[in-house]
Structure 1
Amino acid sequence: MRLKTSQFIFAREYRGLSQTDVSKKIKGLSQSNLSKFEKGFDVLSESVIESLIALLNFPKNFFYKEINIDIEIAHYRKKSGLSKQIKTALESNNKFLGHLVDKLNEAVDYPEFSLRPLDPEEYSPEDIAKHTRSLLGLNKKEPVVDIFNKIEKSGIVVIEFDDVTEKFDGVSFLSGNGTPVIIINKNFSNDRKRFTLAHELGHILMHITGGFPVPMHRTEKQKEDEANRFASEFLMPELGIKNSLVNLKLYDLATLKKYWRTSKQAIMRRAKDLNCITDNTYRYLMIELSRLGERKVEKTLVDIDCPVIFERAYRLHVDELKYSIEDFCQCFSLPEDAIKKYLNFEDRSKLRVLV
């Protein structure tokens, strides 16, 4: 087997090292030679390769694998606010978690992906959301109660992760084996998580899994707008919410939030988009929310359900297949610190995985 230069790039970026950092730490390796090696234009001596593997502290067999997660088609919520360094770290997280999704799937079957992708060139995001709600067995007029349970049963793996910047809301992509994956920021409020999850579900159905041709006129901004429209209809169906939004007042928001389990700001925007309030009323409500100190953190809390499938896959490996940390490292070709970081179900303050 041949060494995969892409794996060296992956490991280096995970360790937060630049090419210059690495070349300074390894005798006989220049930044120029490392750059050429990573691009496949040059070879390194066996001793330099051994030093490089030791520095990166990954199992040697990792560098003969091919972790093929196509980050280019990953859809981030609010990606524009992320620096290049943060994006690189997030992409490393995505690749690791996608790899773990696939490795656990080798011994445990996830639910089959049962939702139907639809082309937003032919159907509106609202119609796609209505169709998706129907496939999930949701009432046309009622809120989504057990949102994680509904999503995990449809065959989408969702990971709630807290070792991440507050500028990151969520991302969706396909694992190397084609499993739809959503990662969301654990640190946010439940209503924000629910909207992010619905937003990324929209990306999966409209922009990731269908293989639909994307015309040049459809920009990333338009895709984000489509995902937001999908999420609004998915969480707050027009048939169920519109009547209660007519002439919306500030004191209505807390009650509506508890029922629909969405943020007050999302409800206000929904009222505006459904022409239940004027633009002036919308601006007034936003000003009042700011005055009350609720633009960033809203006072009314909503509940959220607990997912189970992905953690059960991990538990099966530990409890029934008797995997130790060392076994995970060997079988998954990953270093111990990565296994502990991404499969740390014992310490819920670090990672909780949802499907």
Structure 2
Amino acid sequence: MQQLRTLRLSRGYSLDELAARMGGMVSKQMLSKYEKDLSRPSPPVEQMIAQVLGVKVRNLYESSPFDLEFIAYRKLSGLSKGKQEELQAQLSEELIKRLEVQRRLGLHCEFKFVPHSVKRQEDVERAAETLREEWQLGQEPIENLIDVLERKGVHVLALDAAPEKFHGLSAVARSHGDFCGAMIAYRTLDAGERQRSTVAHELGHLKLSVPEHAEMDEEKAVQAFASAFLMPRQLMYEALGRKRSNIHLTELLQWKAFFGCSMQAIIYRARTLDIISDPYFRDWMIGISREGWRKKEPRALPAEQPTYWAQLVQRAVAERAITAETANQYLPGIVPESEVNTLDRRAFLSLPPEERRKLLSQQAAQVSDLYEPGTQHTGWIDQFVEQEPDDE
């Protein structure tokens, strides 16, 4: 059962908990054997496992054509090994769903996974400017960062129940060795300015390569990239000026709304571009700490909401690339229940006869074992005794 472990971990279940949710039908030792392909469960056990995990039986056996590589995984070092595995399993399951839907629709990832080697600040500036040019973003602020990334093929996943120690993570996917997609995940509890910073930071992990003996380490490089990507230096010079000796709070709050970045990020960027001096930067940071703004700034920006996945699922249903039932498994309620049967019947009847026969054969094979003599579905036969009709 190639996917059992991933499905179990993504739901946060230990072997003990899965066994308990199955009502003790099997032991955790047997479940472990199933995960390692040392044994295969009986059909009733398969059905119960699938029911508890909220999937179909076939999902327990399907192998994925996609291989995932998580970038900068050391950032999860503050989490327990179990929590790391759970988080990775959740993200893997979600990304693979999206890649599969894209594959069925014949869509290709526009994002290019070609890391830009950087050693110093100027390299980072050029990397951010190059990406903006490639994506034709110009020099203006990015109104909706998540929308831009998703349109370019980077799947953005919001984790509602992520641990506090988790902020963001990125990954790339390959199929048969070829790059086919990328992902950025973030914790949803953050204010809009922090959310954008986290997402841009993870984009930096996908776009930068920092060799040994560089002037900056990887974390500093990707954070510098995030600032340069969200606040292009030419636009910063136009907005704040080339040299400033004083910046008022009201002005800084205006630039916060303009750039979609935190006050701290703007002040840090101003120092990086030598718009303000180091002593003035330190004064500002001391003031921010004194006011308690390091964790929560005034005038928090609204968080951006990922929308591409819902649009992709709706398109896949309309084009009959997936069934309405599958769509509701991916995004509960996206297709009204009153329309599910009608849509799925139309999708099935629109298939060529050969494809319909293939699907029916597959479904028959999946349930055939349930009707073998002696199973719970045929036990009534053993009790049945044919009787002669009464003569009247």
TM-score by length of structure 2 reads 0.68
Q: Aligned to 2:95, which of 93, 98, 103?
A: 98
Check 1:195–1:215 CA distance in 2 against 1; reply closer, same or farther (3 A cut): closer
Measure, in 1, the Cα distance between the counterparts of 2:213 and 2:14. Answer: 36
Measure, in 2, the Cα distance between the counterparts of 1:199 and 1:145. Answer: 17
Q: How does 1:98-177 map to 2 (within 5 A)?
A: 98-110=95-107, 112-115=109-112, 117-121=114-118, 124-140=123-139, 142-175=140-173, 177=175
Q: What SS class does the counterpart of residue 127 from structure 1 fall into?
A: helix
Residue 262 of structure 1 deviates from its aligned partner by 0.7
Q: Aligned to 1:233, which of 211, 225, 228?
A: 228
| Contact kept? 2:104, 2:321, Cα under 8 Å | no
Residue 265 of structure 1 deviates from its aligned partner by 1.0
Q: How does 1:207-222 map to 2 (within 5 A)?
A: 222=217
Superposition RMSD in Å? 3.7
Residue 26 of structure 1 deviates from its aligned partner by 4.5
| Contact kept? 1:74, 1:172, Cα under 8 Å | yes
Residue 273 of structure 1 deviates from its aligned partner by 2.6
Aligned residue in 2 for 1:272? 271
Tell me which moved more, 90-99 or 20-29.
20-29
| Contact kept? 2:154, 2:182, Cα under 8 Å | yes
Check 1:267–1:80 CA distance in 2 against 1; reply closer, same or farther (3 A cut): farther
Measure, in 1, the Cα distance between the counterparts of 2:322 and 2:68. Answer: 30
Residue 233 of structure 1 deviates from its aligned partner by 0.9
Q: What SS class does the counterpart of residue 106 from structure 1 fall into?
A: helix
Check 1:235–1:322 CA distance in 2 against 1; reply closer, same or farther (3 A cut): closer
Instruction: Indicate whether 1:16 and 2:18 are aligned.
Output: no
Higher relative contact order (CA 8 A, sep 6+): 1
Measure, in 2, the Cα distance between the counterparts of 1:269 and 1:283. Answer: 10
2:172 partner letter: L
Q: Which has the larger radius of gyration?
A: 2
Aligned residue in 1 for 2:256? 257
Measure, in 2, the Cα distance between the counterparts of 1:249 and 1:190. Answer: 23
| Contact kept? 1:311, 1:345, Cα under 8 Å | no
- Unaligned residue ranges in structure 2 (runs of 5+): 337-392
| Contact kept? 1:111, 1:153, Cα under 8 Å | no
Measure, in 2, the Cα distance between the counterparts of 1:344 and 1:89. Answer: 26
Residue 155 of structure 1 deviates from its aligned partner by 2.5
Residue 189 of structure 1 deviates from its aligned partner by 1.7
Measure, in 2, the Cα distance between the counterparts of 1:27 and 1:307. Answer: 40
Residue 263 of structure 1 deviates from its aligned partner by 0.4
> Can you list the C-alpha shifts for 1:29-81, whole angstroms capped at 9, x where unaligned?
464x65566455x3356479636556545321112212366555234695344
Measure, in 2, the Cα distance between the counterparts of 1:74 and 1:180. Answer: 10
Measure, in 2, the Cα distance between the counterparts of 1:75 and 1:103. Answer: 25
Q: How does 1:177-192 map to 2 (within 5 A)?
A: 177=175, 178-192=180-194
Tell me which moved more, 131-140 or 79-88.
79-88
Percent sequence identity over aligned pairs = 26
| Contact kept? 2:105, 2:321, Cα under 8 Å | no
| Contact kept? 2:111, 2:152, Cα under 8 Å | yes
Measure, in 1, the Cα distance between the counterparts of 2:52 and 2:150. Answer: 38
> Can you list the C-alpha shifts for 1:83-133, whole angstroms capped at 9, x where unaligned?
434323321221121122122213435464155724325782222111101
Measure, in 2, the Cα distance between the counterparts of 1:113 and 1:324. Answer: 26
Residue 163 of structure 1 deviates from its aligned partner by 3.8
How many residues are matched? 322
